[in-house]
Structure 1
Amino acid sequence: MDRLIHGLIEQYGLLAVFLGCLAEGETAALLGGFFAHQRLFAPWQSVLAAFCGAALGDTAFFLLGRRYAQHPWVARLRTRPGFDRADRLLRQHPNLFVLSNRYIYGMRLVGGVAAGLAEIPLWRFVLLNATSALAWALLFTALGYGFGLGAEQVLGRALHAHQRLWLALGLALAMALVAAGLRRRRRRHAGH
Structure 2
Amino acid sequence: MTKRTEITRALLLRAARTEFAAYGIAGARVDRIAERAGVNKQRLYANFGDKEQLFQHVVSDALDELSQVVALDDGTDPAAYVARVFDYHRTKPELLRLLLWESLHYGEKPLPNEEDRTALYEAKLSSLAERTGTPLSRDTRHLLLSLIGLAAWPQIVPQLARLIVGPDIHEDEAQARLRDHIIAFVRNATETAPSVPDTGTDGAL
Q: What is the TM-score of this pair, normalised by structure 2?
A: 0.34
Greater length-normalized contact order (CA 8 Å, ≥ 6 residues apart): 1
Larger CA Rg, structure 1 vs 2: 2
More helix by share: 1
